[in-house]
A and B are shown apart, each in its own frame.
Chain A
Amino acid sequence: MTKPATAQLRVFRHSDFGFLSSFVIRHSTTWLILAWLCAWSVARADDVSTAFDQANRLYEQGKFTEAAAAYEKMFRQGQASPALYFNLGNAFFKAGQVGRAVLNYRLAERLAPRDPDVRANLKFARSSVATGATPAPSWWQRWTSRLRLDEWTLLTSGALWIWLGLLTLGQWRPALRKSLSGYTATTGVGAVLLALCLGLETYNRFAVKSVIVSAREVVVRYGPWDESPNYFTVRDGMELSVLDSKGGWVQVTDRAKRIGWLRREQVLFVPSSTGSS
């Protein structure tokens, strides 16, 4: 015979509050440390925000080079945001450094791929360089670039967990296997597709190395030495794909499939790490 269901009502007595207050008192040091950490975090965030505002003021005064230096200084704290990369890109663009502008727009796009402002400025900066300066992205690159790499990772991970969780449940409770089969199959397919997208975006990030020309005009040579004949010329802001490197030289190819060598210090490498990617 089963017991009837009962409801429980707890009356808080003074002793309960006494317990709470004594708990707080006993752990007052811990609370103080937590409160200090919170205040410190807020203060630090305020410092960064103030520095950002100051850099913005320099930009609005037309001091683009100083503004760029101020934005770059904020990166030394090891943190970044899409707005920070975006504004830095703007400052560089206005200061006439198109290559650095394109690099920072691309980094901003990594963190905020759906931000229309970032896309617009990147497009504008690329169009200010010579026509054909940027390798056209393939269809799958256009597709996978809609999400950040970490977003693809989390989606794939979530799908994987759900799929394996359903499989585990099916093994543990065979009776549920049939009713779960549809969901299992769907999540499995979803996990595979997401993993595929993740793989493509990872390939795009790490396997496809690209550089951006940062010098005003750079001569690309046939070979990796100064005596090698000139092949073609590239300009500030052009994006090239890296094929090889040797010492201080980098082998690149442009959209026209021309392959040549230029000096490492004349280009900017697109880093693999940004803020939360």
Chain B
Amino acid sequence: MNESATLLLKFEGGLPAEVPAAPNVPGLSIASIGQSSQFNFINGQSSSILSYNFLVRAAQPGDYTIPALSAMVDGKTLTSQPLKLRVLKSGAPTAESEIIGKNAFLKLVAAKNEVYLGEVLPLEIRLYARQGNLRQQPQLSQDGFTVGKMIQQPVTKTLINNQYYSLLIFKTFVIPVKTGRLLLGPATMLLAVPHPNARVSVFGEIVDWMDATLTADALTIEVNPLPTNNVPSDFNGAVGSYSLNLALSTNAVTVGDPITLTVQIGGNGPIESLTLSSLDTWRDFKVYPPITKVETTDQFGLGGTKTFEQAIIPENADTKELPPVSFSFFDPEQKSYRTVTHPATPIIVRPGPATPAQPTIVATPTPSANEPKPAADIVHIKSRLGTLARIRAPLIQQTWFVALQGLPLLAWLSVLLWRKREESLTNNLRLRRQRKVAEIIRGGRADLRRLAAANQAEEFFATTFRLLQEQLGERLDLPASAITEAVVEERLRPRGVEEETLTALEGIFQTCNQARYAQESSEQELAALAPKVESVLRQLQRLNLSNLNDE
């Protein structure tokens, strides 16, 4: 039961016309699992074998008969023999299992049958086999124990009952975690062993293998509790045999500077699980959690050294020594507790450079009710994320922001310059007059052209005269009304104005006088005169009479 068998239908020397169907046997489940072929060439003769494989499982124990199977080969009907199959209940010994047991068996061996709680118990799982291949590592039922690493040892040979067996040992250890009479095991192991009547190839190698589960009986282990008397106060469950060493990074420090305390516990036992008693009780020192490091000397991690490195900070310049450090454990060999101690270590603590001298406390003041108590822990985390902002440089490093600050400055400077210009204009009468006259001249020139086109001679000449007065008055810094033709001789010629300009100017003045007193001009004459007037006005505008000497 719970096992399967394989039904093989072999055709040698011929091929069936069709795939044989699985036989139908009540109580048995027979299913095709494929076919295989084999070609042999022996003594010059070749042969081929085609095998059809069927998996056979039984639902109930009992005796079954698989009927003969028929197939058509090369026109002939071939028939196999019926087969009997006995299905046994699970666990019932079979001839086959007995054969397997003679070829391979498993044994569980413990170093002793009585241990203390927490004591390491070395264990071996021994495989004896005449032939076989490992399918998987041994499995151990370990209720009430913790199991360590399992390490396979090299294969050796051993003689049992005049038979040589290969011996493969798996070494490990267990640690009991509860007291009482405990069962350790059984141990099981899956092995591939030769099938009874297995075929052998031409090379002498076994062809037919089958899986076999080997079982080693469980062991009874008596686990004793640790003694309850004379238990050291700092005992925290370590079982084994250990020693203690201590070292300091320095023995002379300033208050507030750290000292690295290195404590090494070495010996035999579960080194990795060792813990050192807390040093938080040390007064005058601030102690930080240790960093641990384990170095093992054996492959199981049951021997070696565990190092505890922790920082301690003397807070008082009066501190003279480091308190003793101890480690307690139960030694199963001596069946008693032991404590290993490193005595107090003298140190020198110098006062800090910014630390005032310690005041002498006469009386401890009662803390005021209004004074907040010093915090015992940090404030808890915030439950709300708040407003997220992009991680960026501050505004003052942003080019655009700095440039933006130039705007009001620029605006102010612009307005300031404009204001200064306005004020300078206000204070500079000549400049103002110059600009005003320039505007008058601009408008006057347009008037001249219009008047000339309209043949309005009187207005034309009046405008011409007015424009000359304005321009000459501005240039000579005289009232416009004071300007007459005489100014040419009195003011301009002595200042060295070009003769051509003077001649043109005199001509225009005369023309204006003549027009005032009688002469009429035609539209063409006015039109011809207008550009001359404009030209003279432009020349007068460009005169820099301040550079010209006045006689």
CA of A275 to CA of B388, assembled, Å: 8
CA of A9 to CA of B390, assembled, Å: 47
Q: How far is the CB of B375 from chain A (nearest CB, A)?
A: 5
Interchain CB contact under 8 A, B388 and A217: no
CA of A275 to CA of B352, assembled, Å: 38
Interchain CB contact under 8 A, A216 and B383: no
Binds B, one of A15-23, A26-34, A119-127, A138-146: A119-127
Interchain CB contact under 8 A, B379 and A120: yes
Q: Contact partner of B412 among A90, A164, A273, CB < 8 A?
A: A164
Interface string of A110-151 (1 = CB under 8 A from B): 010000010011011100001111000000000000000110
Q: Contact partner of B390 among A49, A78, A130, CB < 8 A?
A: A78
Indicate whether A25 reaches chain B with its CB closer than 8 angstroms. Answer: no
CA of A174 to CA of B293, assembled, Å: 82
Residues in chain A near residue B291, CB distance under 8 A: 216
CA of A131 to CA of B257, assembled, Å: 9
Q: Contact partner of A87 among B355, B381, B390, B391, CB < 8 A?
A: B381
Interchain CB contact under 8 A, A78 and B391: yes
Indicate whether B411 reaches chain A with its CB closer than 8 angstroms. Answer: yes
Residues in chain A near residue B354, CB distance under 8 A: 132, 255-256
Q: How far is the CB of B3 from chain A (nearest CB, A)?
A: 48
Q: Contact partner of A90 among B255, B257, B381, B391, CB < 8 A?
A: B381
Closest Cβ neighbor of A82 among chain B residues: B386
Indicate whether B315 reaches chain A with its CB closer than 8 angstroms. Answer: yes
Interchain CB contact under 8 A, A130 and B382: no
Binds A, one of B324-332, B392-400, B464-472, B479-487: B392-400
Interchain CB contact under 8 A, B352 and A79: no
Residues in chain B near residue A256, CB distance under 8 A: 352-354
Question: Given A79-B389, A93-B378, A160-B405, list of 11 further CB < 8 A pairs?
Answer: A81-B385, A86-B382, A117-B382, A153-B396, A153-B401, A164-B409, A165-B408, A171-B412, A216-B311, A273-B394, A276-B392
Q: Which residues of A contact B (CB under 8 A)?
A: 45, 48-49, 52, 56, 59-60, 75, 78-84, 86-87, 90-91, 93-94, 96, 111, 117, 120-121, 123-125, 130-133, 149-150, 153-154, 157, 160-161, 164-165, 167-168, 171-172, 174, 198, 202, 205, 216-217, 232-233, 235, 255-257, 272-277
Q: Which residues of B contact A (CB under 8 A)?
A: 249, 254-258, 260, 286, 289, 291, 311, 313, 315, 352-355, 375, 377-396, 401, 405, 408-409, 411-412, 415-416, 418-419
12 residue pairs from A and B, CB less than 8 Å apart: A78-B390, A83-B382, A86-B381, A87-B381, A124-B378, A125-B378, A160-B408, A165-B411, A168-B415, A168-B416, A255-B354, A276-B390
